[in-house]
Amino acid sequence: MKDGNFLKEHNARHLWHPMAHPAEMQANPPDIIVGAEGVEIIDVDGHRVVDAVGGLWNVNLGYSCAPVKEAIARQLDRLPYYSIFRGTTNDNVIELAEMLRDFFAHDGLSRAFYTSGGSDSVEVALRLARQYHKLRGEAGRVKFLSLKKGYHGTHTLAASVNGNANFRTQYEPLMSGCYHVPAPYTYRNPFNETDPARLAGHVLAAIEDEIRFQDPSTIAAFIMEPVLGAGGVIPPHESFMPGVREICTKYGILLIADEIITAFGRTGDWSGSRHWGVRPDMMTTAKAITNGYFPFGALMISDEVAEVFEKDTTGKGAIASGYTYSGHPVGAAAAIACIKETLRLNVTENAAARGSQMFAGLEALKGKYEIIGDVRGGHGLMSALELVSDRATKAPIDKQSIAAVQRGAYAAGAMIRVSGNNIILSPPLVVSDADVNTILSALEAGLSTVS
């Protein structure tokens, strides 16, 4: 392998990074990751750290999951690719669809539509929502509602429902007909409400108000993450998602649960919807479905929605959406092995226990470090620290300081993720008690460099 300096120089010259400014990447070369084992990653200089990010919230089973690697290798030998467009299918996608139906049985989702990743899953969910209403004779239902702070991907429809200006402004105009309501974000919200239950009530009222303002008969779907992820890990009050479900049902609006992060155990339950006791009409999945080892996703669809398409006799129920890699046999083999491992290891239990340990550790750090304005989490292994320069004004910490926290934590043994003024922690769901302590002490080392 070429040495680190050579790689950094060439990286800066020939490669643009997602979600990064090219000039910033040239000035501050990224760490070059060349290996991984268990829950650790290894950089080109041989430095080994616990991956407190879990890839990108997707490596739930860690980096040494032998059954998944073996399934991929076996499948590459047997059938490396064939499409599942009209006329052909493969045995893996059939087996996987049944496994997914069983896995999400509580959520009442029995049909799978395969994609190549999260943004694809969201895009197709939004398209199918419009098509569903057209098939039912409500062609006027074309608008989408979503939460500010929500993240749903980068395709144009998905980006249009994103609730963070960073992902929108440079690409506007996006799709018209997408409207956003405030997030149930206790630390900062337009209602000046600090009580989570009362805030949930205010946001639900705002949703209903927006629906009436838009005219309910124009709205196709409400899309939301059960726990807002990339927006800074914002778990709502337990009354919130059930409240959204009730409103959607009342007005004939489909509820799309974007579970690209939360499905497969991250919240300490099999899905985020199940965590809140809600049955969505569609659920987007990707990420951990293949543990990050292969790009793959699945949109899950309820019986009720599916039947509208399946019973159509006009031809307009044809799914005019699909990707070359929809139902990739290698991805499906990886997903089958992942679901088996997820169930065998019962990872939700560890996610819940280690999540509580992490949350308690973060709360303790808040008692010691003034720059921690807010600690969020407590629902499995997704948590965040919001860093501020002043607790009274809640002014966000500057970019250099939060970057220094990250570098300090990395030097002390953990990869953490910075998103705006948040530090996000989403390690593999198989982390041990000791791994969580390593993450917490590395994080503390990072925090102490700027406090």
Residues that bind ligand PMP (CB under 6 A): 117-119, 122, 151-153, 225, 229-230, 258, 260-261, 286
CB of 393 to ligand PMP, least distance (A): 30
CB of 220 to ligand PMP, least distance (A): 18
CB of 225 to ligand PMP, least distance (A): 5
CB of 451 to ligand PMP, least distance (A): 30
DSSP class of residue 318 equals S
User: Are 224 and 253 in contact, with CB atoms under 8 Å apart?
Assistant: no
User: Are 162 and 119 in contact, with CB atoms under 8 Å apart?
Assistant: no
Measured from the CB atom, the residue of 260 and 442 that comes closer to ligand PMP is 260
Measured from the CB atom, the residue of 258 and 341 that comes closer to ligand PMP is 258
Measured from the CB atom, the residue of 223 and 358 that comes closer to ligand PMP is 223
CB of 215 to ligand PMP, least distance (A): 27
Measured from the CB atom, the residue of 232 and 446 that comes closer to ligand PMP is 232
Beta strands in 27-170 (DSSP E): 33-37, 40-43, 48-51, 109-115, 143-147
Q: Could you give the CA distance from residue 39 to residue 36 in angstroms, rounded to a whole number?
A: 7
Measured from the CB atom, the residue of 286 and 371 that comes closer to ligand PMP is 286
What 3 state SS string does 340-359 have? Answer: HHHHHCCHHHHHHHHHHHHH
Bridge-based pairing of strands 143-147 and 178-181 is parallel
- Which neighbouring-strand residues pair with 372? 387
Bridge-based pairing of strands 383-390 and 395-396 is antiparallel
CB of 77 to ligand PMP, least distance (A): 27
Query: How far is C-alpha 35 from the chain's CA centre?
Result: 24
User: Are 184 and 190 in contact, with CB atoms under 8 Å apart?
Assistant: no
CB of 119 to ligand PMP, least distance (A): 3
User: Are 184 and 196 in contact, with CB atoms under 8 Å apart?
Assistant: yes
Rg of the chain over all Cα atoms, to the nearest angstrom? 22
Measured from the CB atom, the residue of 117 and 232 that comes closer to ligand PMP is 117
CB of 152 to ligand PMP, least distance (A): 5
Q: Could you give the CA distance from residue 41 to residue 170 in angstroms, rounded to a whole number?
A: 33
For residues 34, 345, 427 and 296, what is the CA-based torsion angle, rounded to 10 degrees?
70
CB of 162 to ligand PMP, least distance (A): 9
Q: Give residue number: closest CB to ligand PMP.
A: 118
Measured from the CB atom, the residue of 41 and 230 that comes closer to ligand PMP is 230
DSSP class of residue 379 equals S
Measured from the CB atom, the residue of 122 and 409 that comes closer to ligand PMP is 122
CB of 288 to ligand PMP, least distance (A): 11
Measured from the CB atom, the residue of 53 and 204 that comes closer to ligand PMP is 53
Residue 389: Cβ within 10 Å count: 16
- Which neighbouring-strand residues pair with 390? 395
Measured from the CB atom, the residue of 261 and 387 that comes closer to ligand PMP is 261
DSSP class of residue 34 equals E
- Which neighbouring-strand residues pair with 418? 423
CB of 118 to ligand PMP, least distance (A): 2
The residue among 293, 245, 250 whose CA lies nearest residue 428 is 293
Indicate the angle between helix axes 66-78 and 329-344, nearest 10 degrees: 160
Measured from the CB atom, the residue of 99 and 260 that comes closer to ligand PMP is 260
Q: Could you give the CA distance from residue 286 to residue 122 in angstroms, rounded to a whole number?
A: 10
User: Are 60 and 266 in contact, with CB atoms under 8 Å apart?
Assistant: yes
